[in-house]
Structure 1
Amino acid sequence: MNETAPVAKATIIYESMFGSTRRIAEAIADGLRPTASVTILPVKDAPESIVDADLLIIGAPTHVHGLPRPSTRAEAGKWADDPARHLTLEPDAEGIGVREWLETCGRVAPRFAAFDTRADMTELFTGSAASRIEKRMRGLGSRRFLQKQSFLVDKESALVSGELERATAWGRTIATELRMPVLR
């Protein structure tokens, strides 16, 4: 009889303005799928509580050194309206964001991992949405599963070459770690 090990459940919630963060979330999911059952949701579709997942992965773009807020999402809308920028706003990008979801969510998975997209500069200058996600998730009683990751975008908000591959590799790393027994 061929027995299979239980499959871990991972939920990925993301916020994306111009598609880069969504594409990173999808690449992470691709890396995870051989080992885990993956649900991927834009934050506007995220339930109030997520208790049926073994791991919650949350990502957002970095705006003004942290998580997007209504004013920065409105600014992204103005950028998309500027034909010289050649940007297309994601559907519902100006709605609820990860910041608001984290402020109002109920129970969450016992473990989390955070990622962000940010300008291709040192974090000292850009800040990190993932750092803010980590702080809030710890406050909700969840434990960090892996070190946060930042994926880089250029001045036009496009992913830097190689970042999708790095995201898929990070997803595979998460999958490998999910298979490891928990040591206490």
Structure 2
Amino acid sequence: MRALIVFESMYGCTHDIADAIARGVGLVGDVTTVPVSHAIDEDTSVYDLVIVGGPTHVHGMSRESTRRGAVEAADQPDSELTVEPDAAGAGIRDWLWELSRREGSAAAFDTRVDKPAILTGRASKGIAKRLTSLGFTLVAEPESFLVDTHTRLIQGEEARAEQWGQRVAARLQ
């Protein structure tokens, strides 16, 4: 089984979760993990499983304005945030709208603040909806991994992401 994980990350948490998911998937098959900025080079049709994830911004997937806001927040003099190299570039939403229709298995994840989803929203729901509209079959419910209000992963989330990745990949065997 071959899997592709495409992620968008502003401050590194979603990147860490994507890497953890890849460790889990890697126990079951071969996995390629790429930031969305490099996903245009990937032919999704050669993979048995495509997993897509990004941060939750304003109840859903990021937009150019929210990515710009994230970069500006990190640029503040009192900020402890470090921006990922491609944070200001195209996001998951942009990539998904450019992706061609195809069949295959997929899963969606996001990172969001540790509060009720009704308050924060979930980017993974929009990602899953778009993947389904492209012809993918979801092999798992959209999953959220949690960060605190300082944009740090909650303890145990990386381990949970690794387990989730293993379970998702095992469904294809």
The number of equivalent residue pairs is 172
CA contact (8 A) 1:10 1:57 kept: yes
Match in the other structure for 2:34: 41
Match in the other structure for 1:145: 139
CA contact (8 A) 1:27 1:165 kept: yes
Indicate the SS of the match to 2:125.
helix
Distance in 1 separating the partners of 2:106 and 2:96: 13
What is the Cα deviation at residue 130 of structure 1? 0.3
Indicate which of 85, 90, 94 corresponds to 1:91: 85
Match in the other structure for 2:168: 174
Match in the other structure for 1:5: none
Please list the CA deviations of residues 127-153 of structure 1 after superposition, one character each: whole Å capped at 9, or x if unmatched.
Answer: 010000011111111111111110000
What is the Cα deviation at residue 176 of structure 1? 2.1
What is the Cα deviation at residue 103 of structure 1? 0.8
Indicate the SS of the match to 2:151.
coil
Match in the other structure for 2:152: 158
**Structure-2 change in CA distance of 1:175 and 1:111 (3 Å):** closer
What is the Cα deviation at residue 35 of structure 1? 1.3
Distance in 1 separating the partners of 2:49 and 2:89: 25
Which amino acid in 2 is paired with 1:58? V
1:21 maps onto 2:14 in alignment: yes
Which entry has the higher C-alpha Rg, 1 or 2?
1
What is the Cα deviation at residue 173 of structure 1? 0.8
CA contact (8 A) 2:12 2:83 kept: yes
Deviates more, 1:42-51 or 1:118-127: 42-51
**Structure-2 change in CA distance of 1:58 and 1:109 (3 Å):** farther
Gaps of 5+ in 2: none
Distance in 2 separating the partners of 1:32 and 1:139: 24
Gaps of 5+ in 1: 1-7, 180-184
Please list the CA deviations of residues 73-118 of structure 1 after superposition, one character each: whole Å capped at 9, or x if unmatched.
Answer: 0000111112322000000100010000011112445111000000
CA contact (8 A) 2:49 2:169 kept: no
TM-score normalized by structure 1? 0.90
Structure 1 stretches of at least 4 aligned residues deviating more than 3 Å after TM superposition: none
Which amino acid in 1 is paired with 2:129? K
TM-score normalized by structure 2? 0.96
Match in the other structure for 2:129: 135
**Structure-2 change in CA distance of 1:154 and 1:118 (3 Å):** same
The sequence identity of aligned pairs, in percent, is 45
